[in-house]
């Protein structure tokens, strides 16, 4: 196995997905990636605190995001970007600099309940109001189309009739997001994910 792939994690909020990545590096689920830096578009994101506790360079960028993020990532030698609860759209500059090297976790089974306006609790509110029996999480490559990139991994989670959006969000995080994001990062960093058209082929 070569040197671990230097990875930047983009965050906006609590950072529970970042924490899942940190824990997975600690317990060996992730061997092929290391977190070189954490970047937030929000100054007060608790995720920045989690990064600092783990001794990882962490930066809040609220102005001129794309240029600032690109230069910080260059400094850190970043090769892969993971969006973990990142609530902003990635611009063309970062998309082209990291082609097929940006992955995102979305808290639904794409193509359901995704795209513009579907983030955070709004996703789970729509899931409950529609009355689906299964939801879940999706890890996908990031492309110009919001939540439209090639799907790498998905995991289904049952919806209960008495769920609140908060209870459902927590179940999706615990039973899906925090499991499939670390696994997907390991597979991509280990070069085990090839794409044939829209189909991701994973070689174990
Ligand atoms: C949550 O809604 C999660 O489902 C989604 O992003 C939001 C914050 O996640 N992926 P995190 O706790 O900041 O990782």
- pLDDT digit string (tens) for 24-45? 999 999 999 999 999 999 999 9
Task: Provide the pLDDT for residue 204.
Answer: 79
Name the burial class of residue 186, with classes exposed (0-12), middle (13-18) and buried (19+) by CB atoms within 10 angstroms of its CB.
buried
Nearest to 147 by CA among 122, 171, 117: 117
Task: Provide the pLDDT for residue 110.
Answer: 98
Q: What is the pLDDT of residues 82-104, one digit of tens each?
A: 999 999 989 999 999 999 999 99
For residue 47 and ligand 1, the question of a CB distance below 6 A is answered with yes
Task: Provide the pLDDT for residue 1.
Answer: 63
Global pTM value: 0.97
For residue 15 and ligand 1, the question of a CB distance below 6 A is answered with yes
- Catalytic annotation present for 122: no
């Amino acid at each position: 196995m070569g040197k671990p792939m230097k990875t930047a994690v983009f965050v906006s909020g609590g950072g529970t997905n970042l924490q899942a990545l940190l824990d997975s590096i600690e317990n060996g689920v992730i061997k092929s990636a290391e977190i070189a830096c954490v970047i937030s578009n929000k100054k007060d994101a608790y995720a920045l605190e989690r990064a600092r506790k783990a001794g990882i360079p962490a930066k809040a960028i609220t102005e001129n995001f794309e240029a600032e993020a690109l230069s910080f990532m260059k400094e850190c030698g970043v090769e892969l970007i993971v969006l973990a609860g990142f609530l902003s759209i990635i611009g063309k500059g970062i998309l082209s600099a990291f082609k097929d090297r940006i992955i995102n976790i979305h808290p639904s089974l794409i193509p359901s309940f995704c795209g513009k306006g579907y983030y955070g609790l709004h996703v789970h509110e729509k899931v409950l109001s529609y009355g689906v029996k299964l939801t879940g999480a999706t890890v996908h490559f990031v492309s110009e189309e919001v939540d439209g990139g090639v799907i790498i991994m998905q995991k289904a989670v049952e919806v209960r009739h008495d769920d609140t959006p908060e209870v459902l969000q927590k179940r999706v995080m615990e039973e899906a997001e925090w499991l499939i994001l670390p696994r997907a990062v390991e597979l991509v960093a280990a070069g085990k994910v090839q794409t044939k058209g829209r189909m991701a082929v994973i070689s174990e």
